[in-house]
């Protein structure tokens, strides 16, 4: 009853607004893959992962070798995946989406199956996934309002869809976006995606946010868009507890170590520490004081717990990273976060930016900025097969096969380099 009989891997595409970052702009469609692991008795477990061609072909290559394995034997499944998966160049992929990097291949592919197996284990035992991780330490998980500079609509897409958020290219536009998002979702922390405009303009937006939402902790994340010199110049402007943490101001561990030596503001990362292999050097340099976990590339929910123990041991803060995703991922993130006591910050999520879903019941609700931890067996979500078919069809027709923010930005600005640090 717990042996894997078949695996379905379905690439999907859903609409994504023109969100700006240091690399460029989001394309009109974001890609994901839905993973279904099935047992003979008709049960299925769900996973959600990246949708770039490389990830899809790796998932497809591994799947046949898992048939007949026991969903409870995660160690054996990890060993099988490690033996089967082909390791690409560790530097291949998109730096801004760490889960697409070659260096994270085995943990990324394992994670997709691990979550599906945990969902199945939960369904077989009648327990929610967080119980399989030791039980919840909180009843709901806090997420933050994840603000982006953005265009009003995609100028180069044939699809007539226009998102409901409008343009945000100024401090006023960002405050307006925050207001809408907080009104609708109740978020109690704010993150501003930066690295888009001159840093002073982005700090003006932070100040405007502080004035409008004095009780909301603030973070800014230029994705390594600033040099060490620029960051050093900006640091005094963050005085007075403006920031809860400063995320990836400069690119790479060495640069982050240099910035860290200049400030008491905690530095956070989802770029220079993306796996256990990055930890020794980061610790040696004291390069980061907060790590943004992400089960999608860190090796699953249990590996995220292991990272939490490392963070506890070394007195490093733990937060959670996100890329564009749907509800299966949100539920996996919620179960992991529910079972980690030192996850001390509201988690990131892109979820409000997406309108489509693949789960029964549509979009997951937030209350006061938090998602309630479900007590149903498994992840607590079921697949809406009609919705899945629509998004699978989108994938076939959208023409995108790997996220490329740089190429998309070049449509607006042909001389765009997309190189970091830019300032």
Interface characters, 11-50, with Mg ion (x: CB under 5 A): ----------------------------------------
| Smallest separation, CB 18 to Mg ion (Å) | 19
Q: 101: closest CA among 113, 112, 87, 114? A: 87
Assess 319 for contact with Mg ion (CB under 5 A). Answer: no
The pattern of x and - marking residues 71 through 110 that bind ligand GKR according to CB under 6 A reads: -------------------------xx-------------
In degrees, rounded to 5, the angle at the alpha carbon of residue 200 between the alpha carbons of residues 199 and 203 is 85
- Residues 43, 254: Cα–Cα separation, whole Å: 48
Residue 100 interacts with, from Mg ion, ligand GKR, none (CB under 5-8 Å by kind): none
Q: With CB under 6 A, what is the number of residues at the site for ligand GKR? A: 12
CA distance 247 to 188: 18
Which option in ligand GKR, Mg ion, none does residue 144 bind, with CB closer than 5 to 8 A by kind?
none
Binding of ligand GKR at residue 422 (CB under 6 A)?
no
Taking the complex as a whole, how short is the minimal distance between the CB of residue 245 and ligand GKR, in angstroms?
12
Among 3-11, 219-227, 251-259, 278-286, which window interacts with Mg ion (CB under 5 A)?
Answer: 219-227
From 179-187, 274-282, 317-325, 384-392, span contacting ligand GKR (CB under 6 A): 317-325
Distances (CA, A) of 238 to 46, 56, 65, 182, 194: 42, 42, 52, 23, 14
Q: Which is nearer to ligand GKR, 45 or 99 (CB)?
A: 99
**Cβ distance to Mg ion smaller for residue 118 or 291:** 291
Whose CA is closest to 381, among 357, 350, 404, 360? 360
Task: Decide if 328 contacts 44 (C-beta within 8 A).
Answer: no
**Cβ atoms of 318 and 343 closer than 8 Å:** yes
Residue 161 and residue 267: Cα distance in Å, rounded?
A: 37
Is 17 buried (19+), middle (13-18) or exposed (0-12) by CB count in 10 A? buried
Q: Which one among 54, 270, 319, 334 touches ligand GKR, defined by CB under 6 A?
A: 270
| 268 interacts with ligand GKR by CB under 6 A | no
Binding pattern for the stretch 223-262 against ligand GKR, x by CB under 6 A and - elsewhere: x---------------------------------------
295 within 8 A of 274, measured Cβ to Cβ: no
Residue 413 CB, nearest approach to ligand GKR (Å): 17
Q: Which listed residue (32, 43, 154, 193) binds ligand GKR by CB under 6 A?
A: 193
DSSP 248-310: --SSSHHHHHHHHTT-SSPEEESSS--SGGGHHHHHHHT--SEEEE-HHHHTSHHHHHHHHHH
Are 248 and 257 in contact by the 8 Å Cβ rule? The answer is no
Q: Which H helix or E strand runs over 30?
A: strand 29-39
**Cα(273)–Cα(296) distance, rounded to whole angstroms?**
14
Residues 1-40 binding ligand GKR (CB under 6 A) are: 19, 21
Contact residues for ligand GKR, defined by CB under 6 A: 19, 21, 96-97, 193, 221, 223, 270, 321-323, 348
Contact residues for Mg ion, defined by CB under 5 A: 221, 247, 270
């Amino acid at each position: 009853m717990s042996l894997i009989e078949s695996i379905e891997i379905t690439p999907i595409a859903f609409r994504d607004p023109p969100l700006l970052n240091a690399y460029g702009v989001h394309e009109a469609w974001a890609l994901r893959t839905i993973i279904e692991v099935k047992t003979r008795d008709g049960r299925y477990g769900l996973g959600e992962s990246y949708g770039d061609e490389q990830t899809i072909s790796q998932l497809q290559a591994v799947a046949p070798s898992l048939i007949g394995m026991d969903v409870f034997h995660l160690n054996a499944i990890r060993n099988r995946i490690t033996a089967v998966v082909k390791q690409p160049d560790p530097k291949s992929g998109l730096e801004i989406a760490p889960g697409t990097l070659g260096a994270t291949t085995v943990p990324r592919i394992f994670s997709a199956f691990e979550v599906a197996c945990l969902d199945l284990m939960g369904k077989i035992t009648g327990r929610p996934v967080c119980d399989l991780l030791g039980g919840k330490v909180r009843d709901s998980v806090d997420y933050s309002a994840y603000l982006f500079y953005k265009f009003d609509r995609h100028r180069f897409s044939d699809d007539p869809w226009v998102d409901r958020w409008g343009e945000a290219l100024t401090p006023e536009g960002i405050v307006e976006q925050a207001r809408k998002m907080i009104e609708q979702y109740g978020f109690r922390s704010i993150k501003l995606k930066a690295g888009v405009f001159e840093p002073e303009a982005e700090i003006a937006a932070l100040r405007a946010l502080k004035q409008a939402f004095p009780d909301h902790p603030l973070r800014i994340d230029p994705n390594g868009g600033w040099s060490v010199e620029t960051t050093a110049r900006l640091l005094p402007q963050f005085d007075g507890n403006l920031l809860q943490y400063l995320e990836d101001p400069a690119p790479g561990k060495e640069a982050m170590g240099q910035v860290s030596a200049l400030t008491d503001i905690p530095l956070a990362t989802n770029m220079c520490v993306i796996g256990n292999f990055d930890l020794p050097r980061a610790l040696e340099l004291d390069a980061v004081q907060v790590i943004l976990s992400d089960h999608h590339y860190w090796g699953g929910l249990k590996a995220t717990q292991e990272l939490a123990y490392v963070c506890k041991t070394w007195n490093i803060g733990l937060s959670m990273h996100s890329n564009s995703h749907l509800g299966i991922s949100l539920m996996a993130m919620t179960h992991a976060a529910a079972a980690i006591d030192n996850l001390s910050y509201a988690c990131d999520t892109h979820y409000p930016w997406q309108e489509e879903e693949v789960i029964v019941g549509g979009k997951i609700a937030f209350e006061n900025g938090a998602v309630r931890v479900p007590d149903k067996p498994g992840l607590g979500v079921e697949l809406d097969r009609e919705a899945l078919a629509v998004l699978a069809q989108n994938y076939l027709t959208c023409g995108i096969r790997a996220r490329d923010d740089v190429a998309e930005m070049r449509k607006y600005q042909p001389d765009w380099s997309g190189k970091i640090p830019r300032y």
